[in-house]
């Protein structure tokens, strides 16, 4: 089951009505231009999908598009269990499945609130509750309850919507789209009041993790400040607010309190940094907010940052690091910086939100990056950090740039999904999707090169790479085609679900069919079809692009196959043959 990066969850928005498939929307469509169309209650169901053996749950929406076959079956009560029958056949055109914000959002009183609220499932006592939580930058908004289950089990559980909430379909210019709304037609103030009238019980505390070892005393030798203690007047000290740990779930919890928090290391230990301040009182204030949210926040003292906008040339020093930043913290700004330097991330410097583009010991390299950013119209600056300060590994620049393909040259960009701290799906016998992906990708590259084709990887090692940098690598290299390698997953309680799925968004249809056919000819994988989907790397690449789900790590048949080196090589070689068939 995919527990991380739900942007790559198996999402079949393709299983929408004929009129909703392949509708091109104008680039500047306002949410107010969308309409909604009711869906009969017996044609759609909201489900709490268990992740990591029921440690938490995701929202899954299944829709019956045609009557050819049943898409789900309900049984029992307290709670009602949903059997997702669509997983046992090729449901293209028969069933719709939405499993993340690409497929559903909140709509209240005719207004799309997808940018202000995120849908999630929480356990509250003996119920699973569907809530709309404010986005990180909307902390002033209240949480809304939309529905709940009548019990909790480690299975697919039906969510009954509260009074006033319905499931509807998005409409644009009179045409129905695949996107599903959780809709309430009352004014937002009324919805908030109704939701506030029923105060939910406190959510179940998170599953405890091993107690992290204490952080070593920072090199300064000063003791950690106690919250509420008088601030020290020390011009050489910054106060870094951190939460020990490095999981995506922990980072999400910290971000809900302080947007812009990121993963980093302090004295060799993984932590989430929530902020860094010159004033101890501000650090104490943030720490207190994190503690109130149930997080074990700490404050450490670090050497202070000097901030000349453009440092004067100086003799290189082992104790000086040149940090290239762009002031601001919006997602759009981060995207712009990433288009110049993949791997940029949000952080804070002296309490100010910035996008960090790079850190260097050599000042000329920092100057070169600053110039490239400024040439792209960005307000890039350089600050000097004294001492060794940690940098987050969440999205490293994955490798040296791939030389761009010359005119007329074929270059195949292979994208091994997940990596680093993002393992992807975790399956039977501890199978890790990221390891399967990189193995197949490397073999695929080798096979193609032996056949005379030039091939490159978006990552060559076990590192975490964000989605946009993967796209950037392919675009800068002027790749001919883009092939993303993944392994699928569902609940470990469903070992009978096995098979190959190949996805495309627009121009990759023929490539997807060629690869899919080749793999089926060469292996005994079950056929789960070629499908259209809105995966990020498919929507944002300009060349024909496909995403290959090479089997289910949770499936009895596929997991056994993945444990065989020869079987993995057979899949990779078959993908290579499909690519060659397409290129010919």
What Å distances lie between residue 80 and 127, 163, 198, 584, CA to CA? Answer: 12, 18, 23, 52
Helices (H) and strands (E) in the chain, counts: 11, 30
450 φ, ψ (degrees, to nearest 5)? -65, -25
Query: With contact defined as beta carbons under 8 Å apart, do 167 and 10 qualify?
Result: no
For the record, the structure tokens of 285 come out as 């204030």
- What does the chain come to in residues? 584
**Of 550, 481, 503, 266, which is closest to residue 389 (Cα–Cα)?**
266
Q: CA 361, CA 321: separation in Å to the nearest integer?
A: 5
According to DSSP, the residues that pair with 81 across neighbouring strands are 75, 157
Residue 443: burial class (beta carbons within 10 Å; 0-12, 13-18, 19+) = buried
Cα 385 off chain centre by:
31
410 φ, ψ (degrees, to nearest 5)? -90, 125
Residue spans of beta strands (DSSP E) within 21-152: 35-38, 44-51, 56-64, 73-75, 81-83, 95-98, 104-108, 111-112, 117-124, 127-134, 144-148
Alpha helices in 304-429 (DSSP H): 331-340, 363-375
Q: CA 63, CA 164: separation in Å to the nearest integer?
A: 20
Residue partners of 88: CB distance under 8 A and separation at least 6: 496, 497
Catalytic residue (choose from 63, 433, 501, 549):
549
DSSP-based three-state secondary structure for 110: coil
152 φ, ψ (degrees, to nearest 5)? -130, 125
**Of 556, 538, 444, which is closest to residue 498 (Cα–Cα)?**
556
Rounded (10°) CA dihedral 345, 349, 351, 353? -30
Query: With contact defined as beta carbons under 8 Å apart, do 389 and 318 qualify?
Result: no
Is 549 tagged catalytic? yes
Residue partners of 478: CB distance under 8 A and separation at least 6: 404, 405, 411
Catalytic (active-site) positions: 549
């Amino acid at each position: 089951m995919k527990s991380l990066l739900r942007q790559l969850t198996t999402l079949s928005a393709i299983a929408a009505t004929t009129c909703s498939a392949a509708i091109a929307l104008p680039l500047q469509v306002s949410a107010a231009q969308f309409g909604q169309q009711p869906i009969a209650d017996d044609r759609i169901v909201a489900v709490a999908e268990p992740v990591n053996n029921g440690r938490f749950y995701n929202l899954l929406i299944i829709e019956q598009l045609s009557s050819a076959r049943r898409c789900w079956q309900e049984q029992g009560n307290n709670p009602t269990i949903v059997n997702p029958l669509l997983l046992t056949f090729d449901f293209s055109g028969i069933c719709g499945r939405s499993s993340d914000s690409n497929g559903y959002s909140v709509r209240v009183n005719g207004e799309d609130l997808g940018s202000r609220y995120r849908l999630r499932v929480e356990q509250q006592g003996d119920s699973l509750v569907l809530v709309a939580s404010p986005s990180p930058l909307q902390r002033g908004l209240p949480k809304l309850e939309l529905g709940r289950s009548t019990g909790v089990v480690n299975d697919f559980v039906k969510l009954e919507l509260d009074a006033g909430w319905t499931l509807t379909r998005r409409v644009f210019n009179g045409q129905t789209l695949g996107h599903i709304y959780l809709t309430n037609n009352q004014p937002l103030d009324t919805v908030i009041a109704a939701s506030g009238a029923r105060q939910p019980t406190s959510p179940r505390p998170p599953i405890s993790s091993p107690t992290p070892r204490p952080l070593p005393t920072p090199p300064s030798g000063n003791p950690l400040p106690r919250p509420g203690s008088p601030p020290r007047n020390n011009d050489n000290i910054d106060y870094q607010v951190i939460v020990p740990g490095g999981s995506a779930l922990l980072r999400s919890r910290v971000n809900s309190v302080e947007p812009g928090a990121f993963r980093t290391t302090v004295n060799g230990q993984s932590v989430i940094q929530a902020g860094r301040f010159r004033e101890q009182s501000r650090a104490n204030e943030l720490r207190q907010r994190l503690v109130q949210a149930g997080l074990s926040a700490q404050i450490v003292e670090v050497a202070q940052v000097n901030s000349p906008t453009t440092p004067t040339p100086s003799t290189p020093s082992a104790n000086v690091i040149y940090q290239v930043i762009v002031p601001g913290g919006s997602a759009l700004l981060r995207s712009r910086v990433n288009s110049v330097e993949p791997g940029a991330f949000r952080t804070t410097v002296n309490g100010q939100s910035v996008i960090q583009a790079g850190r260097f010991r050599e000042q000329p390299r920092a100057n070169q990056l600053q110039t490239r950013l400024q040439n792209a119209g960005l307000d890039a600056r350089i600050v000097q950090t004294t001492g060794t300060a940690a940098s987050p590994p969440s999205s490293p620049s994955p490798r040296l740039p791939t030389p761009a393909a010359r005119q007329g040259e074929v270059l195949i960009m292979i994208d091994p999904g997940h990596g680093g701290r993002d393992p992807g799906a975790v399956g039977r016998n501890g199978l890790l999707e990221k390891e399967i992906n990189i193995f197949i990708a490397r073999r695929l590259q080798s096979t193609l090169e032996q056949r005379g084709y030039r091939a490159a990887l978006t990552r060559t090692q076990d590192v975490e790479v964000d989605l946009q940098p993967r796209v950037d690598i392919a675009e800068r290299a002027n790749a001919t085609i883009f092939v993303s390698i993944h392994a699928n997953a569902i609940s470990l309680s469903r070992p009978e679900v096995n098979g190959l799925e190949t996805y495309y968004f627009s121009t990759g249809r023929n490539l997807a069919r060629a690869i899919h056919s080749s793999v089926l000819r060469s292996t005994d994988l079950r056929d789960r079809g070629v499908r259209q989907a809105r995966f990020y790397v498919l929507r944002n690449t300009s060349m024909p692009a496909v995403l290959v789900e090479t089997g289910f790590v949770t499936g009895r048949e596929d997991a056994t196959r993945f444990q065989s080196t020869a079987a993995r090589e057979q899949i990779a070689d078959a993908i290579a043959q499909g690519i060659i068939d397409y290129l010919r």
